[in-house]
Amino acid sequence: MTEEFVPDVVISRLPRYLQTLNQMAREGLHTVSSKMLAERLGITAAQIRKDLSCFGGFGKQGTGYSIYYLIEQLQKILNLDRIWRVAVVGAGDLGRALTHYQGFASRGIEIVLLFDIDPKIVGTKVGPIVVRHSESMEEDIREQGIKIAILTVPAEAAQSTADRLVKAGVEAILNYAPVTLILPDEVQVQHIDPVLHLQQMMYYLDDND
């Protein structure tokens, strides 16, 4: 199977594998079996072997996987062996928190642009980044060749803002606005709504407590 035909659900598990492998490396481990990795992730060893087989063989029967080699290969598969420059649109509490987050840098992500329309916010700084007015968004994104954007605007502004981002050349959007975006198929979109996740978990809670 070539990478071109790898199902999205497989791709969605790879970052979890990488995260767990990095944790194992920090613990001083050098090799890992699919069973050990499965126990950490709460899935089956067969699923891990099947997922990794989509990209070739990374281990030997009976000896497991070299953790550092597998980390390197997963980083290449996920295009994490380079720095990705990212724009954040919406400099409210969430946008500012994401821009401040130090964990991005070690994972190949660099937030370089931050936009808003509030005149009280435009021109202020979040760390080293000056908040720019959204009216210059397309020009600034094209100039810096940004391919990834994080959207933290209100729901009513999300679709129009996302449309502008796509026209500016953005190919992937992480959307925190509580609305589903309708975008071209070639644009990668991930929706993150904490309320929806909380509501999903509430189903499993005992309301008699």
Q: What is the CA radius of gyration of the chain?
A: 20
In this prediction the pTM is: 0.85
Can you list the domains of the chain with their CATH numbers?
A: 3-77 (1.10.10.10), 84-196 (3.40.50.720)
Give the tens place of pLDDT for each residue, 125-146: 999 999 999 999 999 999 999 9
Q: Which stretches of the chain are assigned E, i.e. beta strand? A: 31-32, 59-60, 64-66, 84-89, 109-116, 125-126, 129-130, 132-133, 148-151, 172-175, 188-191
CB 45 within 8 A of CB 38: yes
Q: Which of 6-20, 32-46, 53-67, 84-98 has the lowest mean pLDDT?
A: 53-67
H helices then E strands: how many in the chain?
8, 11
